[in-house]
Structure 1
Amino acid sequence: MVNRGCSLLFIIIYAFIFCFGFSKPQMVPAVYVFGDSLVDVGNNNFLPLSIAKANHPHYGIDFPTHKPTGRFSNGKNAADFIGEKLGLATSPPYLSLVSKANKNNASFMGGVSFASAGAGIFDGTDEIYRQSVPLTKQVDQFSTVHEEMTKEVGAAALQKHLSKSIFVVVIGSNDIFGYFQSSGLRKKNTPQQYVDSMASSLIVQLQRLYDGGGRKFEIVGVGEVGCCPALRLKNKTECVVEANYWAVKYNEGLQSMLKEWQLKNEGIVYSYFDTYAAIHHLVQAPASYGFTEVKAACCGLGELNARAPCLPLSNLCSNRQDHIFWDQFHPTEAASRIFTDEIFDGSSGYTSPINMRQLVTA
């Protein structure tokens, strides 16, 4: 005989779940994010001299608050979707946590984002944006956070916490852009020397994170940068083949170095996401994902909406769901969601040696 009290309680609980929903179970203790504008969730809002800011309309138009947040997107970006996949809130910007308003109440155990728009693997790639936090300084910031967390929970507990957390690294595009925009860099290095140096420099910073306790890494390769609206504009709306070629060469070199790095260090588990392949497939077969516009930005001015950044007076496409690109350089929320689905559950065509779901349980 069924207990009526239990049945009623079950119905109430089920109704509550159905109406209000619960977040997904938390899969890891925290996510620590390093990178550039593809995953910046507001750090650059705290850099007074930076012109690389997404703190004005039409940024954030499709975010839950419908307001700009510092994300270079019409809504959420990959950092948000990664958090959702893992059952976590988006890791907050480091600079917001150490701002005057939060300085005495900041906790870093739940995850932190150090990502900064304009940042590169190399220092100085942000010259045209005036101010950003390059990867070396982001890792410096993590070292500061590490000290604070050690004081909070002790070295042993922290090591256990960090070993199960995910370290997400999304960077490199600005270094590629910087090389092709700088005659000085091209005089100093051949393209091959430059991309090799990018990869080896990234490994140095990953090693620092490993030495600080990181064990599980999600590394995101450079995308098909020559096909973004800003570069298409310079090439009669077609992709810039040379930029794409060296993005591929960088990605190949990085994957080789990641394998060597893993062999040299005990306990490293990583997933590499081939952003280039994912974007290429999206551009080549947009209809299969619901996209109709692969060349133009949704928000901007002039040809391809790429003659100017997304500004309050810019043109704005009526349907953000059918554009791959939001502005001159960045994907729409819809495209970012697709990329994150591939990062998390992607096949060996996009992820290697494992995907993020497998990384979590490794």
Structure 2
Amino acid sequence: MSYGTRVLIFIFLVIRCGFSKGEQTVVPAVYVFGDSLVDVGNNNYLRISVARADHPYYGIDFPTHKPNGRFSNGKNAADFISEKLGLATSPPYLSLTAKSNANKNNVSLDGVSFASSGAGIFNGTDELVYEDMKREADAAALQKRLSKSIFAVVIGSNDLFGYLQSSNLRKKITPQQYLDSMVFSLKVQLQRLYNLGARKFEIAGIGALGCTPVFRVRNKTECITDGNYWPIKYNEGLQSMLKEWQFENRDITYSFFDTYAAHMDLIQNPASYGFREIKAACCGFGELNARGLCLPLSNLCSNRQDHIFWDLFHPTEAANRIFVDKMFDGSSKYTSPINMRQLVAA
């Protein structure tokens, strides 16, 4: 979805369409906001988008063995989060509103995904339909349901990647100023969700961009320093903002997942997790399979389980599973101030 973080606003439409039956216990729903790391097919419904995982070899290890919009050989982090919570994967929002969907008004009560490949923190929108929502749902019941739901936010990589790749941006604004702007803009979006009743947030930081195949291939296969330094600085700023935000809104509960720490752990200790290849992508062209996108005529590794990276940007299903394991039950090395299991119980 080229509309970037305006996905953070569409939660209004979900509740307006989907709040109809009795309350569920513990976690009634999961709402996912983010980019291609958690996109489960929204981009497949966009006519004008090159960021689509609707062709082989994407989905080769998914239960259907077919491409399904996930930028992975199999399941991604959104799938594993839902599994941990005992829920079905939240469906793509656009699949529920598509003209071909005869039941397009029956939005899943288990949650909805607004994640879209290419989405970023910037390029948001101020178009709200909260007044419509209030007219069509009981306010007290709506508040109770939202307060128990999990709001998973995985965003920011595209913004930082775009900055690092843009000489024009780097001339206009310093890296730290750009990161500060990212953090501030995300806080504004999160506050909008809070104002509607969201109380439990799972928020992921940015991973080691400099160690992705697309960066390594430009640096004689080694990680690029800037690509790792600035994600660390962004994650520090994000954590500071979240602490401040919680102080301002005392009924917020959140778990921050340090994607960078988890990412580097796999890269530095691959054998401990069953990986053998830490640099090259499984699917792609040229050196490190990082000179081109994963396409039907790409090179494809024979064992996806021993690769950390699926394509030049994204992790394999095996790596995604480990990330979510750490997100859900990880120690303070990976999660703060609590992990996701504790977030659910809070």
Partner of 1:46: 45
- Which residues of 2 match residues 123-202 of structure 1 at below 5 A? 123=123, 136-137=124-125, 144=129, 150=134, 153-202=137-186
Is the CA contact 1:39–1:78 (under 8 Å) kept in the aligned structure 2? yes
Distance 1:147 1:50, change over 3 A: farther
Is the CA contact 1:149–1:158 (under 8 Å) kept in the aligned structure 2? no
> Aligned equivalents of 1:147 and 1:228: distance in 2?
43
Alignment pair present for 1:359 and 2:343: yes
Is the CA contact 1:217–1:269 (under 8 Å) kept in the aligned structure 2? yes
> Aligned equivalents of 2:131 and 2:290: distance in 1?
43
Alignment pair present for 1:215 and 2:199: yes
Letter in 2 for 1:105: N
> Aligned equivalents of 1:238 and 1:45: distance in 2?
34
1:221 CA drift (Å):
0.1
Residues 185-222 of structure 1, C-alpha deviation per residue, up to 9 Å, x if partnerless?
A: 11111011011111111111100110111100000000
> Aligned equivalents of 1:110 and 1:45: distance in 2?
21
Distance 1:231 1:158, change over 3 A: same
Is the CA contact 1:224–1:244 (under 8 Å) kept in the aligned structure 2? yes
Partner of 1:344: 328
Partner of 1:98: 97
Is the CA contact 1:26–1:88 (under 8 Å) kept in the aligned structure 2? no
1:110 CA drift (Å):
2.2
| Structure 1 residue ranges without an equivalent (≥5) | 1-24, 124-135
Partner of 2:303: 319
Partner of 2:280: 296
Residues 321-359 of structure 1, C-alpha deviation per residue, up to 9 Å, x if partnerless?
A: 000000000000000000000010000110000000000
- Which residues of 2 match residues 223-302 of structure 1 at below 5 A? 223-302=207-286
> Aligned equivalents of 2:270 and 2:207: distance in 1?
16
1:104 CA drift (Å):
4.0
Partner of 2:119: 119
Partner of 1:30: 29
> Aligned equivalents of 1:161 and 1:201: distance in 2?
26
1:105 CA drift (Å):
3.4
RMSD: 1.6
> Aligned equivalents of 2:206 and 2:131: distance in 1?
31
Query: Secondary structure in 1 aligned to 2:241?
Result: helix
Is the CA contact 2:62–2:75 (under 8 Å) kept in the aligned structure 1? yes
Partner of 2:83: 84
Q: TM-score, normalised by structure 1?
A: 0.86
Residues 88-143 of structure 1, C-alpha deviation per residue, up to 9 Å, x if partnerless?
A: 000011111111123643324320100000111112xxxxxxxxxxxx35x95xx5
Number of corresponding residues: 322
Please tell me whether Structure 1 or Structure 2 has the larger radius of gyration of its CA atoms.
Answer: 1
Query: Secondary structure in 1 aligned to 2:120?
Result: coil
Partner of 1:13: none
Distance 1:211 1:186, change over 3 A: same
Is the CA contact 1:54–1:69 (under 8 Å) kept in the aligned structure 2? yes
1:266 CA drift (Å):
3.0
Distance 1:162 1:239, change over 3 A: same
1:27 CA drift (Å):
4.2
Query: Secondary structure in 2 aligned to 1:107?
Result: coil
Instruction: Name the structure, 1 or 2, with higher relative contact order (CA <8 Å, separation 6+).
Output: 2
Residues 240-294 of structure 1, C-alpha deviation per residue, up to 9 Å, x if partnerless?
A: 1012101100000110011000000131000000000000010000000000000
> Aligned equivalents of 2:107 and 2:231: distance in 1?
37
Partner of 2:10: none
Which deviates the most, 101-110 or 266-275?
A: 101-110
Distance 1:52 1:344, change over 3 A: same
Partner of 2:9: none
1:156 CA drift (Å):
1.1
| Structure 2 residue ranges without an equivalent (≥5) | 1-23
Is the CA contact 2:98–2:104 (under 8 Å) kept in the aligned structure 1? no
